[in-house]
Structure 1
Amino acid sequence: MLTAERYITLLNHFAGPVSGEQDEYEATLEDLTELFHCTERNVKLIVRKLQEEELICWLPGRGRGNRSRIRFMVNRDLFLLEFAKRLAQKGEYRSAFEFLHQFEEDKTILDQFIKWLNDQFGVEKITADAQGKDVFRLPVYRSPVSLDPSMLFFGFDSHLVRQLFDRLVEYDSEREEIMPRIAHHWEHNDSGTEWTFYLRKGIQFHHGKVLAAEDVVFTLERLRTSMNSWLVNMMNSVEAIDTRTVKVTLRQPNWLFPRLMCSSCASIVPSDLSAKEERSYWRLPSGTGPFKIVHWCNNRIELVVNEGYFMGRPYLDGVKLIFMPENIPNASKLKWEHLVANESHTPAKAEGDWQRIETLSKGCSLISWNRNKEGPQQSLSFRQAVNLIIDRSALIQHSGKSGYPARSFLPREEAALGVHWHDASAAKRLLEQSGYDGTPFVLITGESECEDAEWIRQQCASIGIPVIIRYEEKSSLTKTETSQEADALLMCLVFADDEVCELESFLQENSMIYQHLDPGLRQWIFGITNEIFATPSKGRRSALLQQIEYRLQDEAQLLFLVHQKLNTYVHPSIRGLVINNLGWMDFKDIWLTKRNESELDARRA
């Protein structure tokens, strides 16, 4: 990077922003010492390095009055583009964008770079030993924080865990039924306090261990001491009756227990995992899922197919997830032309028989107020004022995303009607009633929410509320101290399943919502959730959950913002793709037609 910046510095100094290949200019070592602010000895080293890389040709002046000359071997535009490509090919995508963003005047170079990047993603056919392998290469604007199921916090991490691991059972949201997975059958006693699971034969972990009841016992016991311990809080004991039978005894009735076992957090891990090996194990964990992880670094994750997957071998031979910097401007993201679930926008070539898949995200963006910290947010009138100043429809328009104003965690029928709150005059009156003294509040969020956070800051400023925005890394957002330090948190919740994920928001101790509830409200919610677990009727459970939502709205504890619509364009030769509730595609269900293979071969030729 340093050599590249020095070459651009020389170009700018001698040739200006426009330069052609083989252009020559008079120069002296004294000129260069002033330009680079270093000694003549260091200048000679810089010149030698630039010559070695064939970027310049230094022509020393011979004799008195003959000045040295510098010849530029690569023109500016080509150099910028090729250097950014080289960084990208090494997996240094963040560095490539940071390099190009130093030269904002060269927007056409950035456009060319993004166009080149588009061709690097999608489906590639790798030929090895005369046998074609189909591999997905996908750019993603995040990297996972953890692939340990017991430590899951984010939707993307949960999606990856579902590619690597399996659970005892799985919830089918279309059928609204719990389906067999590792357990082929399960049963309960009359009171819902004992649950017995019968395991399939012959399931193997990726490292070769045959899955047995001991692995299920190990997994559930391990969950007790994790951040997702709420899943097994009612568990009194778990025991292996034999190698393929597991019995779980609960302290009180829980008719949702099988649903809890559908959670990615309850994915079964091998019992031969020793404590001292845990740190290295979670870099390349071994599950029973349809794909195995073979590489994980700062730039990418590589998955290969599990040939002996017990639910049937996936069509794809592998998946490569390339981590792009989160802070790529939305204008750049708009130009991606290939299939990227939850990140795609309209492709430039999405005409003809391209298929458009659109779905409404299960979840919403929201603001959570910290009721356990001193500050203006302790006032109900203040929280209501902020709620009224945020025009959800304008926020959607400003962000360039598609979606609907949110009035709850999950989108309901009225979401499409655009019902929302916004009343600047009422917001100002409420602010006066609260006795607000102009104290700023601290809003914590992640980099991916920066545009929404800045827009909210401007709206609050319009009625005299200063906002201090603090951006945190994803890993920091899982820490309880981050939640406790915030006056408010801006986040986006994605629910893999409906009622279970809502319960997680209230019961998981690392949850931002849990951390922000005042003790009285938290205790009231605990009473409702215990009643939910003890209720066999789904309709009654739904009504009880709605009671919690209504009270959170009445107290302006949460400000629901936007239900985002996910749009993906799919090439007609890619089949079996469905966007799941996590806003991603299940890689195991994707397959390709012969048409795609011939097109790929033609493009390579």
Structure 2
Amino acid sequence: MLTAERYVALLNHYSVPNISEPREVEVALEDLTNLFHCTERNVKLIIRKLQEESLIQWSPGRGRGHRSRLIFQVNRESFLLDFAQRLAKKGEYREAFEFLHQQEEDKAVLENFIHWLNDQFGVEQLTAGKSCKDIFRLPVYRAPLTLDPAKLFYGFDAHLVRQLFDRLVQYDSDQGQVNPMIAHHWDHNEAATEWTFHLRKGVRFHHGKELTAEDVAFTFNRLHNESMNDWLLSTMDRVEAVDPRTVKMVLTQPNWLLPRLLCSSCASIVPADLLSRDPNAYWQLPSGTGPFRLSHWSDNRMDLDVNPTYFLGRAYLDGVSLVFLPDNIPNSSRLKWEQLIGNDSRLPAKAGCDWQKIETLCKGCSLITWNRNKKGPHQSLSFRQAVNLMIDRQGMIAHSGKPGYPARSFIPLGDPSLAFYRHDPAAARQLLEESGYKGEPIRIVTSHTERDDIEWIRTQCASIGIPVEIEYCDKTKMAQTADISKDADGILTTLVFADDEVCELESLLQQDSSIHQHMPQELRQWMNGIVNEVLASPSGERRRALLQQIEHRLLEEAQVLFLVHRLLNIYVHPSIKGVAINNLGWIDFKEIWLTSPHPAV
């Protein structure tokens, strides 16, 4: 990198135009010592290095007053593009983009680099003898925080866990029912306080060991005792392996929702043998039972290889390679292939009219949660209501350029385009006056992905005299909400629901959920009582009504300000089939298949 920067410094210093022929200039060593801020001896070392890389020719001046001659061997555009490509091939994508963005006058080079990088993604066919492997390479702008099911916080991490691991059961949102997965059958006693799960035979972890009831019991005890997602098994008293194929769970109270809870990615089954032996080594390259196994995981890349003996049927793809790109790349520099997993609503650059657009409404929403365990103007109900009435959701949607609908609940209900929300600046000003607000600033914490929305909200609040201080956190810190919630007046985040009831409960009960962290004690105790009724009810309609009670109180107290339900759009190349957006907002790699012969991608 240093050699490249020095060559660019020389090009800039001597204003060398972008021409194809070598360019000669006269040079004094004294000029170069000033340019590189080093001694004449070090300048000579730099020159030698540039010569070794065939970037320059150097003819030293002989005698006093004779200047040296420097010939630039590589023109500017070719050098910049080649160097960025070499960085990318080594996996140093962040460094490549940072290097090119430093050369602001060379926008054509950046465009050429993006075009080249686009061609590195998509379908790659690897031929060995008579066999041919289909590898799908995709750019990702968010590396996973964890692959430990018990520590899941983000939707992308949960999506990857579902490619590598399996649960006892899985939820079919289209049919509204729980279906078998590792467990082929389950039953319960009359009170729903004892549940028995019967396991399939022949389900094997990627390292070869057959899954047994001991692995299930180990997984659930670990989830119950050691994790931020212990709320999933809050009613569990004990779990036992009755025999190698039978697991029995005894509860402290009736829980008719248990099978739905066990559909969560957090309840994915992990191997007791490897985790008990060396947990640190295991999580570097974890072994599950899923349709793909993890073969490589580094800061730059993750490789998934197909599990050829997967018990629910082999995936078509032979492998998936996820390349981690820096998340601060400007939107104008992003790649067309990210549309397959990036949830971006814009048409990819240079995408032809034959690309298929797939659109779905995200289950979940963006929201602000107020920290009522901290002193400040937000302790006033009138203040919180004033902010709620001041936020123009339709304007915020237009400002971000990302299509969606105003939200009045966690989950879109009915036709979202008919959703009613109130934007009333006059009423907001009146409520603000009633609150006794003195003009203190409020501090809202959010992630960089919410930048457009929070900037819109800051402008809206400023128009009625509320200054908003914004703190941006990276995804690691945002996942540790407990560490930042005490100091924040509010947190702006986006929730994505894979399973309606389960994810709604997760947002309310998970230890690191900002909603859970920010509730006052009295509200939290009331909510826990309602949740117990939810779990004890065999009626889906009654459970829905009880959850709506919680939601209505959050609305009435303006504890949570619901903002927007987003539309998720992806654009798919015509050679790729089987692409659909799952409830986590991503595509399941197992369902993808490719046409043959493959069109050029």
TM over 0.5, shorter chain: yes
Deviation at 1:439, TM superposition (A): 1.9
Summarize the alignment of residues 360-509 of structure 1 with structure 2, pairs less than 5 Å apart. 360-417=361-418, 419-479=420-480, 480-509=482-511
| Structure 1 pair 334–305 and aligned structure 2 pair: CA distance change class (3 A) | closer
Separation (CA, whole Å) in 1 of partners of 2:292 and 2:103: 41
Conserved 8 A contact 1:126-1:133: yes
- 580-589 vs 441-450, greater mean Cα deviation: 441-450
Separation (CA, whole Å) in 1 of partners of 2:224 and 2:339: 42
Deviations 1:71-102 (A, max 9, x none): 11222222222222211111111111111221
Separation (CA, whole Å) in 2 of partners of 1:55 and 1:451: 43
Deviation at 1:510, TM superposition (A): 1.3
| Structure 1 pair 135–417 and aligned structure 2 pair: CA distance change class (3 A) | same
Summarize the alignment of residues 102-501 of structure 1 with structure 2, pairs less than 5 Å apart. 102-225=102-225, 226-275=227-276, 277-333=278-334, 339-343=340-344, 345-417=346-418, 419-479=420-480, 480-501=482-503
| Structure 1 pair 41–212 and aligned structure 2 pair: CA distance change class (3 A) | same
Q: What is the identity, as a one-letter code, of the residue corresponding to 1:144?
A: P
Conserved 8 A contact 1:121-1:138: yes
Conserved 8 A contact 2:118-2:335: no
Three-state SS of the structure 1 residue aligned to 2:273 is coil
Deviation at 1:352, TM superposition (A): 4.3
Three-state SS of the structure 2 residue aligned to 1:321 is strand
Deviation at 1:274, TM superposition (A): 4.1
- 67-76 vs 134-143, greater mean Cα deviation: 67-76
Deviation at 1:401, TM superposition (A): 1.1
| Structure 1 pair 456–81 and aligned structure 2 pair: CA distance change class (3 A) | farther
Three-state SS of the structure 1 residue aligned to 2:12 is helix
- 111-120 vs 195-204, greater mean Cα deviation: 111-120
Gaps of 5+ in 2: none
- 285-294 vs 441-450, greater mean Cα deviation: 441-450
Map of 1:46 onto structure 2: 46
Deviation at 1:396, TM superposition (A): 1.5
Q: What is the identity, as a one-letter code, of the residue corresponding to 2:509?
A: L
Three-state SS of the structure 2 residue aligned to 1:485 is coil
Separation (CA, whole Å) in 2 of partners of 1:139 and 1:439: 43
Map of 1:553 onto structure 2: 555
Separation (CA, whole Å) in 2 of partners of 1:434 and 1:297: 52
Separation (CA, whole Å) in 1 of partners of 2:551 and 2:457: 23
Separation (CA, whole Å) in 2 of partners of 1:468 and 1:21: 54
Conserved 8 A contact 1:167-1:266: yes
Conserved 8 A contact 1:187-1:195: yes
Conserved 8 A contact 1:186-1:195: yes
Map of 1:34 onto structure 2: 34
Equivalent of residue 541 in structure 2, options 521, 539, 546: 539
Conserved 8 A contact 1:114-1:335: no
Conserved 8 A contact 1:445-1:491: yes
Deviations 1:523-548 (A, max 9, x none): 11111111100111111111111111
Equivalent of residue 520 in structure 1, options 515, 518, 522: 522
Gaps of 5+ in 1: none
TM-score (norm 1): 0.95
Conserved 8 A contact 1:164-1:290: yes
Deviation at 1:223, TM superposition (A): 0.7
Separation (CA, whole Å) in 2 of partners of 1:141 and 1:5: 26
Deviation at 1:318, TM superposition (A): 0.3
Superposition misfits of 4+ residues, deviation over 6 angstroms? none
Conserved 8 A contact 2:408-2:419: no
Conserved 8 A contact 1:341-1:579: no
Three-state SS of the structure 2 residue aligned to 1:413 is coil
Deviation at 1:414, TM superposition (A): 4.0
- 397-406 vs 176-185, greater mean Cα deviation: 397-406
Separation (CA, whole Å) in 1 of partners of 2:395 and 2:39: 56
Conserved 8 A contact 2:275-2:282: no
Deviations 1:480-509 (A, max 9, x none): 112222211111111110011000111111
Deviation at 1:456, TM superposition (A): 2.3
Three-state SS of the structure 2 residue aligned to 1:491 is strand
Map of 2:582 onto structure 1: 580
Separation (CA, whole Å) in 1 of partners of 2:367 and 2:21: 53
Three-state SS of the structure 2 residue aligned to 1:15 is coil
| Structure 1 pair 15–227 and aligned structure 2 pair: CA distance change class (3 A) | same
| Structure 1 pair 109–430 and aligned structure 2 pair: CA distance change class (3 A) | farther
Separation (CA, whole Å) in 1 of partners of 2:454 and 2:500: 27
